[in-house]
Amino acid sequence: MEPLNLSFLKLTSSCRLFFACVMFLTCISLVSSASNMTDKLALLAFKAGITEDPYGVLSSWNHTTHHCRWYGVTCGRRHSRVTGLDLQDLKLSGSISPHIGNLSFLRVLMLNNNSFCHEIPQQVGHLHSLRVLQLFDNTLEGKIPRNLSGCARLTRLRLGCNRLVGEIPVEFGSLLELQYLSLPKNHLTGTVPSSIGNMSSLEILSLALNELSGKIPSALGKLTKLKSLAVGLNRLSGTIPPSIFNLSSVTLFDIGVNQIEGTLPANIGFTLPNIEIFSISSNRFTGAIPWSISNATTLESATSQFEQTLRECASFGPLKQAQSMELWF
């Protein structure tokens, strides 16, 4: 038998390598295609839950246009996976489909200022890449899903002006990247979880216009980046923990219309040097206003903010872009 030609062996080896590469790239293409189809089907399921679309914005959600070009949809450049869904301010009605949880690359979900009803689906908690969740100013009901704590990369969680009930999940304390926790004007009960004090990145905490009771936890004094503390118009009692008066970064402090008692510390004007809005009205405080308050040269208002919150929930007109609204919702 004659020995095999060496060049033939090299050619055979090269062919095998070539076909292996082709098969690998084909598999990658098929997986990518399947993933994109998953996203498309999830979006179509979301559309199926919409009962009213007065502006007709979802008419672009059809089979003749790639889903990455649909209104309100943003996709990543590399794999064309859905990374953003922005459908705010469109007067949409309906429910949020549980299939939203299949958008595994979703980073931004903004459905605020519409008329979405029923519950927030538990599947939202499966969106582990989610960073912004804005569902405020709808008619959402039921409890806040506890598994939202699984969205560990959340920086903004805004669920105000809905009809949510139950307690604030203690699991939220694990959201260490959260900067904005806003749940005003709902029907939330129970206490303010002390676990919120673990949110080391928190800057805005708005829990006003609910039915919260109990004391303000001293753990909130650990929030060294906090700028806005709004817990007005609840049923809170007890005294304000001294540690909270040492949060020098706070610019808005509203505990108005509660059952809080005690006196204000004599040095409050020095410990809250950046305060702009300070509201303690309609509580059970005793004693005089400390003279040190004159040191707070940035102070603009010392009245309760809850009336403004009511106006903004009722109508998102010119107030929508106001700085004060950003501190609330």
Q: If pLDDT is split at 50, 70 and 90, which confidence band does 297 have? A: confident
Question: Quick count: other Cβ atoms within 10 Å of Cβ 124?
Answer: 22
Identify which of 101, 152, 93, 151 has the alpha carbon closest to the alpha carbon of residue 122.
101
User: What's residue 295's pLDDT?
Assistant: 85
Residue range 7-20: mean pLDDT, rounded = 51
Residue 156 above 70 pLDDT?
yes
Q: If pLDDT is split at 50, 70 and 90, which confidence band does 26 have? A: very low
Burial 83-101 (b: 16+ CB within 10 A, else e): bbbbbbebebbbbbbbbbb
At 166-179, the pLDDT tens digits run: 999 999 999 999 99
Q: What is the DSSP string of 290-309?
A: PGGGGG-TT--B-S--HHHH
Cα 118 to Cα 223: distance, rounded to the nearest angstrom = 33
Cα 162 to Cα 138: distance, rounded to the nearest angstrom = 5
Beta-bridged to residue 85, according to DSSP, are 73, 109
CB 255 within 8 A of CB 216: yes
Residue 25 above 60 pLDDT?
no
Mean pLDDT of the chain: 87
Q: What pTM did the predictor assign?
A: 0.84
Q: If pLDDT is split at 50, 70 and 90, which confidence band does 318 have? A: very low
Percent of the chain with pLDDT over 70: 81
322 contacts: CB under 8 Å, gap ≥ 6: none
| Lowest-pLDDT choice from 3-17, 126-140, 271-285, 295-309 | 3-17
- Residue ranges with strand state E in 30-149: 50-52, 73-75, 82-86, 93-95, 108-110, 115-117, 132-134
Kindly tell me the burial class for residue 129, based on how many C-beta atoms sit within 10 Å of its own C-beta (0-12, 13-18, 19 or more).
Answer: middle
